[in-house]
Structure 1
Amino acid sequence: MNKMVKTSIAAALLSTALFANAAEAQQKIGYVNMQQVLINLPQARNLEQQVQEEFKGRISEIEEIEGKMQALQEKAERDSKIMSQREMQDMSRELELLDATRQVKTKGLREDMQRRGNELRDQLMAGVMRNAQALASEQQYDVVLSSNSLVYANENFDLTDDVLKKMTGGN
């Protein structure tokens, strides 16, 4: 009987020690709302403008083709009564050729602009990730998650504003 009491006391002390260690080893966890960071970063707001600037030569080339098309259409409407059948056919072919060229160039431009925009967004997102990791390391977080992987989290664990401050130099 005496042995049983000692074993029970030892088990109780051991379980108490285990729970105490678990409480001491509590992890520091935070989260970042990546979408909100991207929306509020000045660099993200300028991405579209940067892409437009990079492709302005090709954009103006397409606008020039559209201008030629419009001028040809206006000429066809204006001079249709005095033009021969052959001249009308030639003008129609030229319009079709310009339209086909415009469509090909527009499609290529759209794809290139989208690809470049994605590259710039990926670079920006990599910067956000680096800054979030640096912040987590500086503040000794054990785990930092993206908010879209959470079901619920207390606002006290939100690092979004801190990441924004870090990326904008505290502004």
Structure 2
Amino acid sequence: MMTSPVKSLLAASALALSFAAAQAQELKIGYVNGERVLREASPAKAAQAKLEAEFKKRETELNDTGNKLRQAFEKLEKDGPTLSEAERTRRQRDLAEQQRDFERKRRELLEDLNQRKNEELAAVSERASKVIKQIFETEKYDLILQDVVFAGPRVDITKKVIDALNAGK
């Protein structure tokens, strides 16, 4: 037989649980796949095309330099037995210096590309955040999540965000 205070505590707990369950059913939750937004939205695609155009010339020049350097190494390897020791050593030093210069330029290109890519992605992410906030406010969401392990299609609003970004909102 239970005492009156225990019965009251159990009743209050049951009431609190039923209230919490009712409140949870009324929550409006959304999920946005940020990676998909940065992959599929028109502003993200435009940023990618802009970066490709911006770095195409440097990449082409670097590839040409790399091909010439490779050909020079092959020529040295082929001509090596017929060259004097001093000439072979001089060419090896020259090629090693050119190789270091090539590697430095390649690193600089990658650093510049990564920096610009981060800048462009930050701009797209900022626009996406504004769109998400606008959807949050206009559609009266209680919570919108971005990095989750699993989300069902019922709460996935990624397509809405992409469509709004594509529309220029």
TM-score, structure 2 length as denominator?
Answer: 0.70
Q: Distance in 2 between matches of 1:73 and 1:150?
A: 50
Contact 2:44 2:121 in 1 (8 A): yes
Contact 1:72–1:91 (CA under 8 A) maintained in structure 2: no
Contiguous gaps of at least 5 residues in structure 2: 1-14
> Cα offset for 1:125?
1.1
Structure 1 residues not aligned, in runs of 5+: 1-14
1:16-165 matches, cutoff 5 A:
28-45=28-45, 47-146=47-146, 148-149=147-148, 155-165=153-163
Q: Could you say if the C-alpha distance between residues 76 and 31 of structure 1 is closer, same or farther in structure 2, counting changes exceeding 3 Å?
A: closer
State the Cα RMSD in Å. Answer: 2.8
Contact 1:33–1:160 (8 Å) recurs in 2:
yes
Larger radius of gyration: 1
Change (3 A) 1:49 1:88: farther
Range with greater deviation from structure 2 (49-58 or 82-91): 49-58
The answer (yes or no) to whether the contact 1:41–1:164 under 8 Å persists in 2 is: yes
Paired residue secondary structure (1:65): helix
Q: Distance in 2 between matches of 1:70 and 1:157?
A: 54
Cα separation, 1, equivalents of 2:96 and 2:152: 61
Deviations, residues 60-83 of structure 1 (Å, cap 9, x unaligned): 332232133123223223333432
Question: 1:134 deviation in Å?
Answer: 1.3
List per-residue Cα deviations over 1:81-123 (Å, max 9, x = no partner): 4322222111111110111101111112112211211111111
Count of residues paired in the alignment: 147
Deviation above 6 Å: which 4+ runs of structure 1? none
Q: What's the TM-score, normalizing by structure 1?
A: 0.69
Structure 1 vs Structure 2: percent identity of aligned residues? 27
Structure 1 residues 71, 155: CA separation in 2 closer, same or farther (over 3 Å shift)?
Answer: closer
CA separation in 1, counterparts of 2:71 and 2:155?
Answer: 62
Change (3 A) 1:103 1:134: same
Counterpart CA distance in 1 for 2:130 and 2:42 is 17
Conserved 8 A contact 2:43-2:166: no
